Structure 1
Amino acid sequence: MIQLTRLNDETFTLNACMIEQIQSHPDTTITLLNGKKLVVKESEAKVVDLVTYYYRDIGVQRVLKEAGEANE
């Protein structure tokens, strides 16, 4: 889960696994797997960093890396 800020300064927690894409135009817009769009104050790079750290914390990156090595 990652904590983000809406444009009205309200913070919320988002399940990072639900993110389909992140865009900056110019506000950062996150599209979820269900099609819902969220606009946040954080930059696209910051959201990507938060998601990356989250995946590291729960061990997803390690599992994906190991799976890739097993396929070689």
Structure 2
Amino acid sequence: MISLTRLNGESFTLNAIYIEQIQAHPDTTITLSSGRKLLVREKEEEVITLTKQFYRQIGLASISVQEKEGS
């Protein structure tokens, strides 16, 4: 889970597994696999960093690295 902030200042926690796309328009827009869009205060790169940290924490990042090395 990653902690983010809505444009109105409200904090929330998002399960980063459901993130499909992150864009800056100029506000950071996160599109979930359900199609729902969220606007957040964090910059695009910060959301990417938080997501990568979450993936490492739950062991998903190490799986993708091992697959690439084994290919």
Q: Normalising by structure 2, report the TM-score.
A: 0.94
Q: Which moved more, 1:34-43 or 1:60-69?
A: 60-69
What is the CA RMSD across the aligned residues, in angstroms? 0.8
**2:29 aligned partner, one-letter code:** T
Q: Measure the CA separation in 2 of the matches of 1:30 and 1:40.
A: 8
Residues 10-54 of structure 1 show CA distances to partners (whole Å, capped at 9, x for unaligned) of: 000000000000000000000000000000000000000000111
Percent identity (aligned): 55
Q: Which runs of 4+ in 1 moved over 2 A?
A: 67-70
Quote the Cα distance in structure 1 between the aligned partners of 2:48 and 2:69: 24
Deviates more, 1:56-65 or 1:6-15: 56-65
- Could you state the TM-score of these two structures normalised by the residue count of structure 1? 0.93
Q: 1:33 aligns to what?
A: 33
Q: Which runs of 5+ in 2 are unaligned?
A: none
Alpha-carbon distance in structure 1 between the residues aligned to 2:38 and 2:62: 28
